[in-house]
């Protein structure tokens, strides 16, 4: 047994014998890889460990007690909601306690005030169904309907529907957070009257700290409850149809409509986003990366490659498809009006509507991020920027260039600049750079590429969201700060004096570079030695 | 084997190392297809993961543990065997996974059990006893073999020779004779001559399910030969588990395609549906009942025909020649629903988890024998769903499901009625 008999017994007394195990077989079932997000990469192989023990609390009180025990006995622990976020969601040191939160799945919905109170075990598709049934909706992060709504809200939380709504910061209302030392903090209005209806005031508001732009990946405590703002939808049902794998939501086209437009250029796509925003129309928008279309069309991996091999740099550079979602939130007339305005905008920009199926399989209730692994078996998004549209576009193009020199081992993608869209009625621009590789080949250069994206960001002054927890903090911190790293480590030290909450995050990538021989030639920045328990 | 020669042969677990290494923990195998997600209730379709909660019991855990076993990083233990066997091999994970990916999860789970038996560690002790009964008494209950045809109702005479051979199976022969009786009466009412096997033996379902593939293959050979000797062109079953054995697992074990069996395998619901559509069978008697239909795994998502495949795996994990994967799309989903809807007075209501998303009753593939509490728990979960939709009765097309539901209903003293679909069809045609 990895942790001492005494500690095990104390933990067992908190949750009961059925909900804790240090059995090596049970623990092996929680291994991060070899498949999954960022798995099959050097980071996963070097930095993740099978947990020494797994525990499944049911209540916030139990979480608090567990965390206090961890502090008393100096046991490292990691919060784990569904574990879909790959290597980073798993233990990074030996004998770590994995706190599996799936039993915490209470759910309440306040129809009158438009919010739901969820625990970490609630996933997006559950929340979306409960909301839509009552005439409301939520933005399901593109990473998947299968992810914990809380884990996504504190880390990511965007999809083409963020065009209208923006990032989730303000949609996080009253929240319960167990700090790394076991103390409980209630955020927002929850702090005063046990009523979670409001996020900022009257109680403390640690949302900025909790998520920043893209979260701290489990190293600053455990969110055990969160009230999430829901948005008013329209009244018609989106009807599920089809048999797996061809399942889809049939859209009530008098109220909800996706329209794909062929645009003459990238500039025209960009202009369309701006114009739509000025006119305040549209419920969602995105540029469609061509390989998403191919994944959606292909019946198998083999068919994907057959279709993909027909593409080339030229077909890609002339593929400008803009996908727009219209919702008649208030009435059918709203949708008709918005469609007319949109048509004017697109026509003026020289674009034209393509035939678009009256269904949704990717964004409302089912975000099939799992399809990202269909073609190669290895996948990670090496970078995403959340800045302006003007910033996001060159970011994608730039990375496409850099990537060329890493292909192979990266999948040949003919210069595709990744995913691009606007958030918050074009006040923000988003660019995500996705890479795929065959994990059964040598992956050293995949690890190199990941790190090179950081250096490229620094050289070209792209504002990346993947700071601290995803890249070497001593590389990115001084460049962005100049004392971002010091500040982050000070915060971490203050909240987690024993450094037991998911160590060595936020220094995990630093530790990786230090430990992986093949990363050493890339290390041209200063950092203190990361002391890490093996 | 990650690259190079590979096949779908379940007796070589190495064929599935690729699949085990590529599981991404998306848990599409555990959750109901998100498009059909009914909300916070009834949201999972994997009984094993739902009951035992640790990730290790979901397909993602099983893939990781299986890989560690094959790579020699883990050894057999009580917990490991429980993880392999406290699983209904219901195929929900397989269709869930194949919605997005090309991984062979069900075959991997089968291959791991076969490996456990080969390694002398599996199956579970309870299975060994039943396997012995199957070998000596040719049925899974250890009942006297000579009683196998006692169910045959008076007045119904099987033909010595007919196109249709009704394979009754152990359950309908011994514990659920009402299903066999209803089946032959329906055939009789439709004027379909049918024969029985001169000496029917168990289909070997439990043997194959628990990994005793050599013994199961022997039975497969024997049974297929018997049908060929009898000269039947259609083999009809009224049991979903027998159906899958004949249609999928026999060809799989014999290294042939379903199409090469030399006869057609049909379940009663397919046959009745055809008869209804031809007009040979009319469902006329009224049955005033609000009911729901439970998709038995082996008739639905696990029932697509088998085609053997071997080839090579190369870059990006692509296989050559291309492989047409069984994704559960063409299971027998619609026919039983059409039949029930055709019965006057019947109001068919669907449960939130239906068709490929159905939650297994918990009985099959060796579960009831080795983990009876788990099996009953699964049935209880399903019955909660039946009640949720306000049905007065639950109908299935498999004696295993009926039996397990009936046990829970009687244990809990519930009012709910449990039927096999053959009983309702008969009630609607009988004069
Ligand atoms: C293929 C893919 C595509 C993606 N695309 C998008 C996208 O388009 N849009 C988007 O918004 N996101 C995207 N993501 C990110 C993703 O959705 C994550 O936000 C989500 O996976 C987190 O939920 P989870 O249940 O997987 O969390 P987990 O894997 O359980 O945990 C994620 C991290 O949060 C920590 N954590 C978990 N639960 C808690 C808790 N209760 N309190 C504190 N810390 C906790 C963990 O320690 C871990 O570090 C993508 C991810 C993948 C793998
Ligand atoms: S659906 Fe497939 S890939 Fe996803 S977790 Fe389940 S077995 Fe793994
Ligand atoms: S076969 Fe059924 S019980 Fe077993 S892991 Fe798959 S879904 Fe779960």
Separation in Å, CA of B379 to nearest CA in chain A: 21
Closest alpha carbon within chain A to B60: A29
A435-A36-A211 Cα angle (round to 5): 80
Strand, coil or helix: B252: helix
Q: Is the distance from the beta carbon of residue A148 to the nearest atom of ligand 1 less than 6 Å? A: yes
The topology (CATH level 3) of A251-460 is Vanillyl-alcohol Oxidase; Chain A, domain 3 (3.40.462)
B27 lines ligand 2 (CB under 6 A): yes
Q: Is residue B181 in a domain?
A: yes
Residue A373 Cα: closest atom of ligand 2: 3
Task: Indicate the range of A69-78, A117-126, A406-415, B214-223 predicted with least confidence.
Answer: A406-415
**Residues B57, B130: one domain?**
no
- C-alpha A334/C-alpha A232 separation (Å) is 14
| Ligand 2 centroid to residue B23 C-alpha, Å | 5
Q: Quick one: CA dihedral A8, A11, A13, A19, positive or negative?
A: negative
At residue B169, the pLDDT reads 98
Does B263 lie in the same domain as B145? Answer: yes
The answer to whether the CB of A252 is under 6 A from ligand 1 is: no
Pick from B24, B36, B102: CB nearest A301? B102
Give yes or no for residue A62 CB within 6 A of ligand 1.
no
Residue A532, pLDDT above cutoff 70:
no
Q: What are phi and psi of B414, to 5 degrees?
A: -85, 165
**Structurally, how many domains does chain B consist of?**
3
Cβ of B316 within 8 Å of Cβ of A368? The answer is no
CA distance B231 to chain A (A): 36
**A-chain residues near B83 (CB < 8 A):** 25, 29
Flag whether residue A31 sits within 8 Å of chain B, measured between CB atoms.
yes
**Closest approach of chain A CAs to the CA of B187, in angstroms?**
31
Render A76-145 in DSSP notation, one character per residue.
-EEEESS-TTGGGGS--STTPEEEE-TT---EEEETTTTEEEE-TT-BHHHHHHHHHTTTEE----TT-T
- Note whether B353 contacts A: Cβ–Cβ < 8 A: no
Contacts of residue B61 in chain A, CB cutoff 8 Å? 28-30
**Ligand nearest to the Cα of B44, by number:** 3
Count of Cβ atoms closer than 10 Å to residue A92 Cβ:
26
Number of C-beta neighbours around residue B126 at 10 A: 16
Q: Report whether residue A143 contacts ligand 1, using a CB cutoff of 6 Å.
A: yes
Identify which of B26, B37, B316 has the shortest CB distance to residue A305. Answer: B316
Residue A325: exposed, middle, or buried by beta-carbon count in 10 A (0-12, 13-18, 19+)?
Answer: buried
B317 lies in a domain? no
Among the bound ligands, the one closest to the CA of B58: 3
Tell me whether residues A302 and B55 touch, CB distance under 8 A.
no
* Domain's final residue, options B95, B122, B149: B122
Is B37 in contact with A26 (Cβ distance < 8 A)?
no
Residue A242 contacts B, CB cutoff 8 Å: yes
d(CA A376, CA A373): 6
Beta carbon pairs, A and B, within 8 Å = 191
pLDDT in tens, B24-74: 999 999 999 999 999 999 999 999 999 999 999 999 999 999 999 999 999
Q: Bin B25: left if φ > 0, else alpha if -120 < ψ < 50, else beta.
A: left
Which of B39, B54, B63 has its CB closest to that of A54? B54
Confirm whether B420 is domain-assigned: yes
User: Is the minimum distance from the CB of B236 to ligand 2 under 6 angstroms?
Assistant: no
What pLDDT digit, counting tens, does each position of B262-282 carry?
Answer: 999 999 999 999 999 999 999
**DSSP-derived pairing of the beta strands A184-187 and A172-178:** antiparallel
Q: CB–CB of B68 and A35 under 8 A?
A: no
Q: Residue B350 belongs to what domain range?
A: 282-295+333-431
B40 shares its domain with B168: no
Q: Which of B31, B39, B55 sits opposite A100 (nearest CB)?
A: B55
pLDDT > 80? residue A2: no
Q: What is the pLDDT of residues B93-107, one digit of tens each?
A: 999 999 999 999 999
**Domains of chain A by residue range:** 5-100, 107-232, 251-460, 471-522
pLDDT value of position A197: 94
Write the CATH number for B383.
3.40.50.11810
Give the phi and the psi of residue A199 in degrees, each rounded to 5: -90, -45
Beta-carbon separation of B329 and A129 below 8 A: no
Residues B17 and B87 in one domain: yes
**Rounded Cα distance, B97 and B103, in Å:** 7
**Considering the domain boundaries, does residue B9 fall inside one?**
yes
Contacts of B334 (CB under 8 A, 6+ apart): none
B402 and B351 share a domain? yes
Greater confidence, A206 or B359?
B359
Ligand in nearest proximity to the CA of B33: 2
**Interatomic CA distance for residues B107 and B113, integer angstroms:** 10
Closest CA–CA distance from residue A478 to any residue of chain B (Å)? 34
Which of B92, B95, B375 has the most ligand 3 atoms within 8 A of CB, as the residue to mutate? B92
Mean pLDDT over residues A183-187, rounded? 96
**For residue range A84-142, what is the model confidence (pLDDT) as tens digits?**
999 999 999 999 999 999 999 999 999 999 999 999 999 999 999 999 999 999 999 99
Task: Please judge whether A300 and B102 are an interchain contact, meaning their C-beta atoms are less than 8 angstroms apart.
Answer: yes
> Which is more confident, B194 or A208?
B194
Per-residue pLDDT tens over the stretch A262-288: 999 999 999 999 999 999 999 999 998
- pLDDT band of A468, cuts 50, 70, 90: low
- List the beta bridge partners of residue B394: B292, B418
Q: Which ligand is nearest to the CA of B105?
A: 2
B289 and B420 assigned to the same domain: yes
User: A336 near A257, Cβ under 8 Å?
Assistant: no
Q: Which CATH number fits domain A107-232: 3.30.465.10, 3.40.190.10, 3.90.870.10, 1.20.1250.20?
A: 3.30.465.10
Please state, in angstroms and rounded to a whole number, the distance separating the CA atoms of residues A262 and A397. Answer: 20
Mean pLDDT value across residues A371-399:
90
Ligand 2: which residue has its CA nearest to atom 3? B23
Which of A190-194, A376-380, B206-210, B416-420 is predicted least confidently? Answer: A190-194
Distance separating alpha carbons of residues A226 and A373, to the nearest angstrom:
31
Task: Evaluate: CB of B61 within 6 angstroms of ligand 2.
Answer: no
Last-in-domain residue among B278, B303, B318: B278
Count of C-beta atoms within a 10 Å radius of residue A494: 10
The chain B residue lying nearest A56, using CA atoms, is: B54
Residue B308 in any domain: the answer is no
Q: Which of B64, B82, B87 to mutate to test the pocket of ligand 3 (most atoms within 8 A of CB)?
A: B87
Q: Does B80 touch chain A (CB under 8 A)?
A: yes
Q: Does B327 touch chain A (CB under 8 A)?
A: yes
Q: Would you call A28 an interface residue with chain B, using a CB distance cutoff of 8 Å? A: yes
The reply to whether residue A123 touches residue B329, judged by beta carbons under 8 angstroms, is no
Same fold? A107-232, A251-460: no
Residue ranges of A 71-90 with Cβ closer than 8 A to chain B: 82-84, 86
Q: Is the pTM of this model over 0.90?
A: yes
Tell whether B136 and B106 lie within a shared domain: no
Pick from A15, A20, A28, A366 the residue to mutate for testing the B interface (most B CBs within 10 Å). A28
Structural domain includes residue B316: no
CB spacing of B100 vs A245 below 8 angstroms = yes
Higher-scoring residue by pLDDT: B408, A382: B408
Confidence category of residue A531, pLDDT binned at 50, 70, 90: low
* Ligand 3 cavity residues, CB under 6 Å: B 29, 46-49, 59, 62, 87-93, 109, 360
What is the percent of chain A with per-residue pLDDT over 70, rounded to a whole number?
98
Are A371 and B100 inside 8 Å of each other by CB?
A: yes
A106 close contact with B: CB closer than 8 A: no
Instruction: Name the least confident of A141-145, B40-44, B198-202.
Output: A141-145
* Cα–Cα distance measured from residue A88 to residue A502, given in angstroms and rounded to the nearest whole number: 9
B46 falls within a domain: yes
Cβ contact B151:B145 at 8 Å? no
Angle CA(B164)–CA(B170)–CA(B175) in degrees, nearest 5?
A: 120
pLDDT-derived band at B371, boundaries 50, 70, 90 = very high
Among B37, B43, B95, select the one facing A244 at the smallest CB separation. B95
Chain A residues in contact with B49 (beta carbon < 8 A): none
Nearest CA to ligand 1 atom 47: A218
Provide the pLDDT for residue A466.
Answer: 74
Mean pLDDT of B389-408: 98
Give yes or no for residue A533 having a pLDDT over 60.
no
Separation CA A175–CA A150 (nearest Å): 10
Q: Give tens-digit pLDDT for A12-71.
A: 999 999 999 999 999 999 999 999 999 999 999 999 999 999 999 999 999 999 999 999
As a whole number, mean pLDDT of residues B422-426 equals: 98
User: What proportion of chain B, given as a percentage, has pLDDT over 70?
Assistant: 100
Q: What is the mean pLDDT of chain A?
A: 93
Residue numbers in A near B21 (CB within 8 A): 34-35, 439-440
Q: Which residues on B lie below 8 Å from A123 (Cβ)?
A: 31, 43
pLDDT band at B126 (very low <50, low <70, confident <90, very high): very high
Q: Can you tell me the mean pLDDT for A321-328? A: 97
Whether residues B50 and B150 share a domain: the answer is no
pLDDT band at B19 (very low <50, low <70, confident <90, very high): very high
Helix (H) or strand (E) segment spanning residue B7: strand B4-7
> Which of A84-98, A477-491, B142-156, B248-262 is least confident?
A477-491
Q: What is the CATH number of the domain that holds B241?
A: 3.40.50.1860
Same domain for B157 and B86:
no
Q: Is residue B371 part of a domain?
A: yes
The answer to whether residue B328 neighbours chain A at the CB level (below 8 Å) is yes
Cα–Cα distance measured from residue A74 to residue A62, given in angstroms and rounded to the nearest whole number: 18
Asked if B44 and B22 touch (Cβ cutoff 8 Å), the reply is: no
In our burial notation (b when 16+ CB lie closer than 10 A, e otherwise), range B36-54 reads bbbbbebbbbbbbbbbbbb
Q: What rounded mean pLDDT belongs to chain B? A: 97
pLDDT at A534 over 60: no
d(CA A151, CA A121): 9
Are B394 and B413 found together in one domain? yes
Q: Is B75 a residue whose pLDDT tops 60?
A: yes
Question: What would the mean pLDDT of A142-150 be, rounded to a whole number?
Answer: 94
Report the complex ipTM. Answer: 0.96
> Is A1's pLDDT higher than 80?
no
Is the CATH number of domain A5-100 3.30.43.10?
A: yes
Rounded mean pLDDT, A515-519: 96
């Amino acid at each position: 047994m990895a942790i001492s008999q005494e500690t095990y017994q104390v933990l067992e007394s908190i949750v009961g014998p059925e909900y804790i195990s240090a059995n090596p077989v049970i623990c092996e079932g929680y291994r991060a890889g070899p498949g999954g997000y960022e798995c099959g990469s050097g980071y996963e192989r070097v930095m993740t460990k099978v947990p020494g023990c797994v525990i499944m609390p049911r209540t916030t009180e139990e979480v608090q007690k567990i965390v206090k025990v961890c502090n008393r006995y100096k046991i490292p622990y990691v919060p784990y909601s569904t574990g879909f976020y790959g290597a980073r969601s798993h233990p990074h040191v030996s004998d770590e306690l994995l706190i599996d939160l799936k039993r915490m799945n209470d759910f309440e919905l306040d129809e009158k005030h438009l919010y739901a109170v969820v625990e970490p075990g609630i996933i997006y598709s559950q929340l979306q169904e409960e909301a839509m049934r009552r005439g409301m909706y939520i933005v399901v992060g593109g990473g998947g309907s299968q992810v914990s709504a809380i884990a996504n809200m504190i880390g990511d939380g965007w999809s083409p529907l963020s065009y209208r709504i923006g990032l989730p910061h303000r949609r996080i209302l009253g929240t319960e957070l167990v700090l790394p030392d076991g103390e409980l903090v209630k955020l927002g209005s929850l702090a005063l009257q046990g009523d979670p209806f409001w996020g900022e005031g009257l109680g403390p508001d640690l949302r900025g700290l909790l998520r920043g732009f893209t979260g701290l990946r489990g190293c600053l405590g455990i969110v055990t409850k969160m009230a999430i703002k829901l948005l008013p939808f329209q009244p018609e049902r989106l009807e599920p149809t089809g048999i797996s794998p061809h399942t889809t939501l049939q859209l009530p086209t008098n109220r909800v409509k996706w329209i794909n437009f062929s645009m003459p250029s990238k500039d025209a796509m960009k202009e369309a986003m701006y114009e739509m925003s000025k006119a305040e129309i549209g419920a969602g928008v995105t540029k469609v990366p061509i390989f998403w279309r191919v994944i959606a069309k292909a019946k198998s991996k083999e068919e994907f490659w057959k279709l993909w091999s027909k593409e080339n740099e030229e077909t890609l550079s002339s593929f400008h498809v803009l996908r727009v979602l219209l919702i008649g939130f208030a009435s059918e007339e709203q949708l008709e009006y918005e469609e007319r305005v949109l048509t004017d905008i697109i026509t003026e920009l020289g674009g034209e509507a393509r035939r678009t199926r009256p269904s949704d399989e990717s964004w409302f209730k089912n975000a099939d991020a799992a399809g990202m692994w269909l073609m190669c078996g290895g996948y990670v998004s090496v970078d995403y920027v959340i800045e302006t549209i003007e910033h996001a576009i060159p970011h994608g193009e730039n990375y496409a260039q850099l990537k060329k020199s890493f292909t192979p081992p990266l999948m040949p993608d003919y210069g595709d600049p990744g995913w691009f869209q606007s958030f918050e009625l074009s006040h923000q621009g988003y660019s995500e750079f996705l890479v795929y590789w065959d994990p059964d080949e040598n992956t050293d250069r995949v690890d190199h590429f990941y790190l090179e994206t950081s250096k490229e960001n620094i050289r070209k002054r792209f504002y990346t969201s993947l700071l601290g927890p995803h890249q070497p903090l001593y590389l990115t911190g001084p460049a962005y700060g100049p004392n971002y790293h010091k500040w982050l480590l000070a915060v971490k030290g203050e909240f987690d004096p024993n450094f037991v909450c998911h160590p060595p995050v936020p220094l995990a990538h630093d530790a990786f570079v230090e430990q992986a021989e093949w990363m050493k030639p890339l290390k041209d920045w200063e950092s203190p030695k990361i002391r890490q328990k093996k | 084997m990650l690259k190079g020669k590979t096949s779908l042969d379940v007796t070589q677990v190495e064929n599935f190392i690729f699949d085990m290494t590529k599981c991404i923990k998306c848990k599409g195998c555990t959750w109901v297809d998100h498009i059909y997600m009914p909300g916070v209730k009834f949201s999972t379709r994997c009984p094993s993961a739902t009951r035992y909660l640790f990730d290790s019991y979901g397909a993602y855990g099983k893939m990781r543990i299986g890989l560690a076993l094959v790579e020699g990083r883990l050894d057999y233990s009580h917990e490991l065997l429980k993880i392999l066997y406290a699983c209904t091999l219901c195929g929900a994970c397989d269709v869930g996974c194949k919605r997005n990916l090309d991984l062979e999860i069900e075959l991997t789970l089968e291959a791991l059990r076969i490996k456990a038996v080969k390694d002398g560690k599996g199956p579970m002790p309870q299975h060994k006893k039943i396997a012995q009964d199957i070998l000596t008494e040719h049925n899974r209950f250890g009942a006297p073999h000579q009683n196998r045809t006692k169910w045959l109702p008076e007045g119904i005479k099987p033909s010595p020779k007919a196109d249709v051979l009704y394979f009754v199976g152990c359950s309908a022969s011994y514990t659920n004779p009402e299903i066999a009786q209803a089946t032959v009466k329906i055939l009789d009412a439709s004027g379909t001559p049918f024969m029985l096997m001169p000496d029917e033996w168990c289909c070997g379902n439990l043997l194959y399910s628990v990994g005793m593939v050599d013994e199961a293959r022997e039975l497969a050979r024997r049974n297929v030969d018997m049908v060929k000797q009898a000269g039947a062109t259609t083999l009809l079953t009224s049991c979903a588990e027998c159906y899958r054995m004949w249609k999928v697992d026999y060809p799989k074990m014999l290294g042939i395609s379903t199409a090469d069996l030399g006869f057609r395998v049909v379940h009663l619901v397919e046959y009745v549906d055809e008869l209804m559509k031809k007009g040979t069978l009319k469902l006329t008697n009224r049955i005033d009942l609000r009911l729901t239909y439970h998709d038995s795994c082996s008739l639905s998502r696990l029932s697509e025909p088998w085609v053997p495949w071997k080839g090579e795996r190369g870059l990006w994990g692509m296989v050559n020649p291309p492989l047409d994967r069984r994704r559960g799309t063409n299971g027998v989903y619609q026919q039983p629903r059409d039949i029930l809807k055709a019965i006057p007075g019947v109001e068919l209501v669907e449960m939130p988890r239906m068709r490929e998303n159905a939650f297994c009753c918990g009985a099959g593939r060796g579960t009831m024998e080795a983990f009876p509490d788990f099996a009953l728990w699964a049935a209880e979960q399903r019955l909660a769903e039946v009640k949720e939709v306000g049905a007065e009765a639950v109908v299935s097309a498999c004696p295993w499901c009926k039996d397990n539901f009936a046990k829970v209903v009687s244990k809990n003293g519930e009012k709910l009625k449990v039927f096999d679909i053959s009983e309702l069809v008969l009630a609607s045609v009988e004069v």
